[in-house]
A = this chain, B = another copy of it.
């Protein structure tokens, strides 16, 4: 068995209460006894068992971040923001749901069984009712994805406005035929972006045409399939707006294989401003989310909720920006 606070107390010739006090500097202990205790700790190589402490204090100082997967770097900045805002009081531990409801629920067990103090979901499969129920009993927040009807702390950008701006910028560049590559699921971030796309077209008197809209999944391969559908339409687009950088990259690669020069023969626009969009050839013009700030903000608000009687369940929207690169060159006038 490992060394406990009792062993330290015995070795230092004091009570366990005193050891606990120097451990937590929770009360005044005389210089001399503190010294003895610390010596004993060093001598025995003692480190406190937090299972006991956590049980007693009914807190773990851990916060769970649930992400769909580590395959996409999009969450990286958000996670840094989360960690920086939580540190040094809380450790952020990450786990992946692979976008499965069952896996997500299994991870949320950590919340139910008190193994973490709170959780922030970077995307979720849960519906509004379930989220509301959980938010009533536990400390919970959403980041970078909202859920219609869910009344809990949420931090995102304005996806609709982001897509609107992206589309409008292409229109102002002279495009009259703009395709859309999006996801078939009903995630609000997807539907919001389509809404923004449609609104921009409408605003500028361009009709919506389903033959140049592709709805698939979120993978690289879907960008490729989207490209093929759109370019085989009766009247192909001259620009394509993709609701994620991954999709944009899939699209760009296909266009390239087709012999088109992206940024000249055709414009492609992404979303998220991931590292990928920056280092790709050509660089992908994209809508940037303030990932670090989003993570930092949601964690800061969550901690406030945890130490307050009043719970702020508001939906905070941070502002996006458009990053011009080679896949769709935007001059300053357009931006």
Contact = CB atoms under 8 A, between A and B. Distances in A.
Contacts of A281: 252-253, 256, 280-281
A69 interface: yes
A72 B113 CA distance: 32
A301 to B, nearest CB: 22
A214 B60 CA distance: 46
A48 interface: yes
A113 B70 contact: no
A110 B92 CA distance: 12
A83 interface: yes
A83 to B, nearest CB: 7
A80 to B, nearest CB: 8
Contact of A114 (B51, B60, B70, B110): B51
Interface in A178-200: none
A212 interface: no
Interface of A: 2, 47-55, 58, 60, 62, 64, 67, 69-73, 75-76, 79, 83, 91-96, 106-107, 109-110, 112-115, 220, 249-250, 252-253, 256, 275-276, 279-281
